A and B are shown apart, each in its own frame.
Chain A
Amino acid sequence: MPELDWTTRREAGVTLVELTVTNDVDGPRRVRVRSAIPVLPPRSDGVPATGWTEVEADRVAVVEVPPGATRGLGYASPETADPPATLVDAEPPEPREAPEPVADAPAVEQTPDGVVRDLPEAGPPRDAVPPADDGGGEAPRESPQSGPVEADGGAPIGTDGPRTAIDPTEAGEIDDAADTGAGPGHPGATADTTGRSSQPESAGEGPDDDRPPSRAERPREQPDTPVGWTWGGDDPTDGVDLPPTVADWLDGVVRRIDLAADLAAAGGGPEATALVAAAGGPGAVDRLADRVADDPDRLRRLAARAEELADRAEAVAVPEGVARRSP
């Protein structure tokens, strides 16, 4: 009969359970283990990890152990028990057709859950992207660059390119921008400033052009850096857990503003043609124009409503003890 061993430790209000199952017989065994406490299984991209997908309502997990081998199983639980789990039974696994050997195929289950769980996450690797708020409650990390870039009130909201793409020679000029009173509250003035720090004293007294720089004028991103990331930057909603619909609407606004600015900057000629084509053709650009015309009014009305609600929320307070006093 296979042996079950365990260790538990308590951390941050949760019990972490580590089980090992050792198979000391000659053949493989399919071992069922029942937890005495509620199970929070390990997850990969939100999907319970392989083996845990079979956890039944009565907290049973299944693990296959080859002869003479040991396998581990881990989970978390809000409660504690000693022992945390017990062996239910251990049967020889049902005979299965050997799968066709496929050269170099990743071990992935042929289901939607399997694909999401067993293959790498879609999207850029996290290491390639500086820490940023994604509206999902991720705490924004302090980074050495976050100070100067915040002070760079000139960068439009949803500024393009990761921080690493900023030309280091601009660093000194960015610091000068701090003297103009730029800071977290500054984004409201972005429409008037001239973008990156090539004109650090820009807030108001910049040179001739007072439009945000187009993507073509911004410092070139490195070749394999994706263009046009939207994330916090100097955005007042940084660190705020916005509902996805709101966050997406704001992202859409930023995209429209950027695209309209690029089209304006491109004037006529091949760059404009390319932009129009990339946007989806003249029809899409007409629709864009309409939406860009509507956006300011909607945004200002939303801002006014949000201000009003903020004032009301600040002024009201739930009386202490009211929940206990009422019958």
Chain B
Amino acid sequence: MIVACAGGKGGVGTSTVAAALADRLEAVLVETDLAMGRAPAVGPTVEAVLAGRVAPVEAVRAGPDRHLPAGRSLRGARAADLRRLAPILEELADAFGAVVVDCPSGLSAAVGAPLLAADGCVLVTAPDEAALVGALRVAALARRLDAGLVRVALVGVEKAAPAVGRALGAPVVAVPTGDTAPPSSGITALAEAVQSDCSSS
């Protein structure tokens, strides 16, 4: 099972939700924000796997627990070939059961490639106009690439706002600020929805 998490606009909490969801699903967390890794990678990076220099399963085993991070080298990013992402994610899903992809903001190939490969997509957004505009654009890209929208994670609110769900095309799950660690009900709801909607693929 491969799930993509994307937000469109940066800073809404996509990475936080992706990490929490991966944790809850015991999935491998793969970052695709090439060259923009948030911490220096101790083990192999996703760029190295995309360049064909490290096998995917080996890379995950050699690195921090079930995490394939992005690196911080431009050189590495230029050698990475996102066209290889789908088979890599499938191999990881076969080996580990599930993969969650933490997509960067925007509509680049680093978002498109995971959406193309994913069985389903969780849109992450916040209750402000800029965030919703970003989410709408990613939703359109996800539909174009046939990535089923499973849920919208609305971060920073206590209760889901159905209007947001109607605008984006998927039911909304509220993820209150700071409430992503277990036993977060928002993350649990996302995990259950993803498992029920995506595992059949």
Q: Are A121 and B109 in contact (CB under 8 A)?
A: yes
- CB within 8 Å for A108 and B112 given contacts A123-B77, A278-B38: yes
Report whether B36 and A112 are in contact in the complex, using a CB–CB cutoff of 8 Å: no
Question: With a CB–CB cut-off of 8 A, which chain A residues contact B80?
Answer: 122
A228 to B42, CA, bound (A): 14
Do B42 and A287 have beta carbons less than 8 Å apart? Answer: yes
Q: Are B111 and A112 in contact (CB under 8 A)?
A: no
The main secondary structure of chain A at its interface with chain B is loop
Give the total number of A-B pairs whose CB atoms are below 8 A apart: 158
A281 touches B74 (CB 8 A): no
The answer to whether residues A105 and B140 also contact, given A135-B75, A281-B64, A284-B64 and a CB cut-off of 8 A, is: yes
A259 to B37, CA, bound (A): 14
Give the contacts of B33-75 with A (CB-CB under 8 A). 33-43, 48, 51, 53, 63-65, 67, 71-75
Specify which of B79, B81, B106, B143 lies most central, judged by the most chain A CB atoms within 10 Å of its CB. B79
Q: A105-B140, A108-B112, A112-B83 are in contact. Are A123 and B64 (CB under 8 A)?
A: no
Structural contact, A115 and B82, CB atoms closer than 8 A: yes
List chain B residues, Cβ under 8 A from A115: 82-83, 109, 112-113, 116, 145
Choice from A102, A110, A123, A255 contacting B40 with Cβ under 8 Å: A255
Contact across chains for B143 and A102 when beta carbons are under 8 A apart: yes
Of the residues B40, B71, B77, B145, contact of A279 by C-beta under 8 Å? B40
Establish whether residues B36 and A110, one from each chain, have CB atoms under 8 Å apart when the complex forms: no
Q: A136-B75, A229-B74 are in contact. Are A122 and B83 (CB under 8 A)?
A: no
Q: Which residues of B contact A (CB under 8 A)?
A: 32-43, 48, 51, 53, 63-65, 67, 71-86, 104, 106-113, 116, 136-137, 140-141, 143-146
10 A–B contacts, CB within 8 A, in A order: A105-B140, A110-B146, A115-B145, A120-B107, A122-B32, A134-B75, A228-B37, A248-B79, A255-B71, A281-B65
